[in-house]
Structure 1
Amino acid sequence: MSTTTNTTTATGGAPGAGLERTLTLSSVCIIGIAWVTPLVVLATIGIIAHLSGGSAPTAYILTLVAMVFTAYSYGRMAQVHHTKSGSAYTYIGEEMSSHLGFLTGWMILLDYFFIPLVVWLIGAAYLANQFPAVPMAAWIVAFILPTTLLNLIGIKTTTRTDYLLVAFQLLVIAIFVALCLAQWAGAPAGPGALEPFYNDGTTFSAIAAAAAVAAYSFIGFDGLTLLTEETKDPKRTIPRAMIIVVLFFGVLFITVAWVTQLVHPGAQFAHPASAALGISRAVGGNLFAAFVLAGLVVGQFACGLTIQAGASRLLFTMGRDGALPAPLARLSSRGTPVISIVLIGLAGLIGLFVDVTTSASFINFGAFSAFTLVNLAVIAHWLKHRPQRGAAGVFWWVVLPALGAIVDFYLLCNLDIDAVIVGLIWLVLGIAWLGWITRGFRQPPPKLTFEEKPELD
């Protein structure tokens, strides 16, 4: 699960000359699938099943509803701002307020800055379960050090590699689903086909809490708006691609959650953070479990490498444009923002003190905040410009985004209380910093530009 910004310049490489439109609908969809990362569902399935009271697929259904509404609103904004690459802070800054747009970017920074932490923590949890003699802390450091060093060197990752990793992940998932269905079909005393969706332990509050964490699995689809300048007919392509990617992952996650709860009913797991490994061993033996472990570790390492590079790029941009302290934009002789990369690596050490559920939750605080505001930005645009009149305009530009905002805000409120506290502290720090750089909110905040970025990946 990852988001990265694209640095390709137009032919000739002139900074600011614009980007060449080469991406088709299928290309954008494949990139979106690579960014979100299919195998993330196995990485977190035990946590979602535990939080939902054994109704993981229902939790994913609720999350999917929120993501579909939000993808629709992102698509609307991508249509309006189709001449340039954008993101949540751009849309909200243009449609609502530049100060609110800055704070949206600040909340998104919470995602970018700490997502590597969650990625490394998940990978470490699986290795610690497989090799209990090695402390969890050692595995966390083992992920952070090589990833940070490779990004400092400036290693390049290619789109082709991403595609191969996606194909491998889908193969692992396909085998996992087939083995689970085979074991369930061969066990006459097993649960009914609908039991994973609703059982005696199912409550709406548990479903909502699990759905709030499950949103972590979808993070990345919103990054497709950054491809606007490189996409053919972006006004139609980007919105369609976002809906397709969200629906693809919704079906994938619900399916995996369903078959998992068929072979392991209920919410009790010896190790929820690494439950997929035990289930893989139960349905496919040690060889298949090793296969899944390899996929998870390789996927988490590659994902962490890419996300740390993308996050350091965002810190570099914000430092260069005056939104964050200038030293964050300092480059090494290799053209990599050393301080930004190292800072993200050090943030990963927080994994020594928190678990996967808590860390994923406070990341989702930033995501749900941005998602809620993007839905509201669509309504604000309609109120100012009336792009479509009558009942149809109210439905498409007000009702649907309002429903998205309500669902997103509801899930935000259902996050772990510690995550909400961390998120609110982060927001207060953002408001204080905004007040400082705008001289008491009397000046507009700096606008971020994504030109002349360093080559990080």
Structure 2
Amino acid sequence: MSQLSPDASSVTPTQLTAQVTRGRFKRVLGVPSLVLFGLVYMVPLTAFTTYGIVTELTGGRVAATYIITLAAMAFTARSYARMSIAYPYSGSAYVYTQQSFGGALGFLAGWALLLDYLFLPMINYLIIGLYMGDTFPGVPTWVWIVAAIALVTVLNIVGIVSVARANFVIIAVQTVFIITFIALAVAAAGGQGVDPLAPFTGDGTVDGFLPLFQGAAILCLSFLGFDSVSTLAEEAKDSRRTVPRAIMIVTIGAGLLFILLTYLAQIAYPSNAFETADTASIEVVASFGQQWVSVLFIAGFVAGCVGSALTAQASVSRILFAMGRDGVLPRAVFGRLSARYGTPVIPIVIVSAVSLCALFADLLTVSNMISFGALIAFSCVNLSAIKHYFVDRGERRGWDAVNNLVLPGIGFALTVWLWTNLSGSTFLVGGAWLAVGLVLLLIVTRFFRRATPTLDLKE
């Protein structure tokens, strides 16, 4: 049984053992399942989610923007991988920051992470509503949103094995479309004689590098899958080996795929004039003149959104569970697993209720809010890697200095840089969210007269 301790900083990695309240997660996931989980979470077709928005913002330089985003995310993914070795537990940035900097900062990092995890299922439901509503205008958008929420909730309650099985089918559908898209895009570009460097140099409507960084701040949401892998540490076999490996495979592999897809989309449809930026990808695919390709795209994209919502809900429910297990959130509500299914049922249902906000949300605002929370969490994990390895463990000589200070330091600088390129309204909403978290922390600690509850990781 896990106990609460005001200070777990003295715990060594060899003493760590996964403990949960009233039950244990089942360790059933290997590297392939973890990679599949991360890829489904990210959605291989997620490059098309904000394609129209970022194309207009950057003047057709989405591929170049993805290169910047991948460079930033690779450093941060590396920090996640290393911290997952040090602390192989559910909770992701929350646990890493808590164990490195104490309960108070850990709570605030987890609270920021909750923002993007709560919004990510929502953005998937929103996209499902937009695309299905465009395809079947006779059916109200809200019907598609509510149906998707119900399906995802049931699958998550049943258990992580059902999620993994659904992931395989979803990836298969998207893979078929990706292969088809690549073939048709290359053929279309060849017939138009398009400049092959246009996706990097732009169409001349927007100049300068600043729009690229603003676009990269939005595209961060495409990479959230790598950190979702770390939330499954307590359900992975040999987690200190499998989780970090899966994190890096997911990050690099998905990033290269995003660059390829957006590059081909731009040379196949060299325009940033869309009827609706939110669903611009439909126009790109329709330009091929093949109705069956459009149908396949809608099927693959919607399936991907269902899969992403499925894995996003699984991840955020486990973060809520970790915070409930620690006593930061009410343990009776958040810190228990279902005896029948071995899943955190109440957090899963709460996430579903929050996701109903997709009925009135807009795509750009939700995208920015996801990036706001994610970039704060990413910054905390980079700093945690420095604190744990360079400061606490004193690994500072030779390559260790580069490994434990320089590389995570670069990751921290890049994430802060991207964070500052978000819109002003994003900071207002995000700041309000952090303020609510601070108030909750003050209540839990009685204005810091009581130590912030943390998880005692000793056996």
TM-score normalised by length of structure 1: 0.84
Structure 2 counterpart of 1:453: none
One-letter amino acid of the structure 2 residue matched with residue 70 of structure 1? T
Q: Does 1:367 align with 2:370?
A: no
The Cα offsets for residues 249-306 of structure 1, whole Å up to 9 and x where unpaired, read as 0110000010011122243211221122221121151111011111222232343244
Structure 1 gap ranges (5+): 1-9, 451-457
Cα-Cα RMSD: 3.2
Contact kept? 1:78, 1:86, Cα under 8 Å: no
Picking from 61, 66, 71, the partner of 1:60 is 66
Structure 2 counterpart of 1:30: 36
Structure 2 counterpart of 1:224: 229
Q: Does 1:42 align with 2:52?
A: no
Distance verdict in 2 for CA 1:148–1:238, change over 3 Å: closer
One-letter amino acid of the structure 1 residue matched with residue 401 of structure 2? V
Picking from 297, 301, 314, the partner of 1:296 is 301
Q: Does 1:442 align with 2:449?
A: yes
Structure 2 counterpart of 1:75: 81
Q: Does 1:175 align with 2:180?
A: yes
Structure 1 counterpart of 2:256: 251
State the number of aligned residues. 435
Q: Does 1:392 align with 2:395?
A: no
Q: Does 1:196 align with 2:196?
A: no
Contact kept? 1:154, 1:334, Cα under 8 Å: no
Contact kept? 2:115, 2:370, Cα under 8 Å: yes
Contact kept? 1:317, 1:449, Cα under 8 Å: no
Moved more, 144-153 or 373-382: 144-153
Instruction: State the Cα distance separating 1:221 from its structure 2 match.
Output: 0.8
Structure 2 counterpart of 1:97: 102
TM-score normalised by length of structure 2: 0.84
Instruction: State the Cα distance separating 1:432 from its structure 2 match.
Output: 0.8
Instruction: State the Cα distance separating 1:175 from its structure 2 match.
Output: 0.9
Contact kept? 2:91, 2:322, Cα under 8 Å: no
Q: Does 1:205 align with 2:210?
A: yes
Structure 2 counterpart of 1:454: none
The percent identity for this pair of structures is 38
Contact kept? 1:118, 1:356, Cα under 8 Å: yes
Picking from 187, 190, 193, the partner of 1:185 is 190
Q: Does 1:114 align with 2:119?
A: yes
Instruction: State the Cα distance separating 1:399 from its structure 2 match.
Output: 1.2
Distance verdict in 2 for CA 1:302–1:226, change over 3 Å: closer
Contact kept? 2:84, 2:244, Cα under 8 Å: yes
Instruction: State the Cα distance separating 1:71 from its structure 2 match.
Output: 0.8
Distance verdict in 2 for CA 1:349–1:66, change over 3 Å: same
One-letter amino acid of the structure 1 residue matched with residue 369 of structure 2? F
Structure 2 counterpart of 1:275: 280
Distance verdict in 2 for CA 1:418–1:138, change over 3 Å: farther
One-letter amino acid of the structure 1 residue matched with residue 54 of structure 2? I
Secondary structure, aligned partner of 1:390 = coil
Picking from 345, 356, 362, the partner of 1:349 is 356
Q: Does 1:377 align with 2:380?
A: no
Secondary structure, aligned partner of 1:444 = coil
Structure 1 counterpart of 2:4: none
One-letter amino acid of the structure 2 residue matched with residue 427 of structure 1? L
Structure 1 counterpart of 2:432: 425
Contact kept? 1:54, 1:266, Cα under 8 Å: yes
Instruction: State the Cα distance separating 1:427 from its structure 2 match.
Output: 0.6
Q: Does 1:409 align with 2:412?
A: no
Contact kept? 1:88, 1:105, Cα under 8 Å: yes
Contact kept? 2:166, 2:307, Cα under 8 Å: no
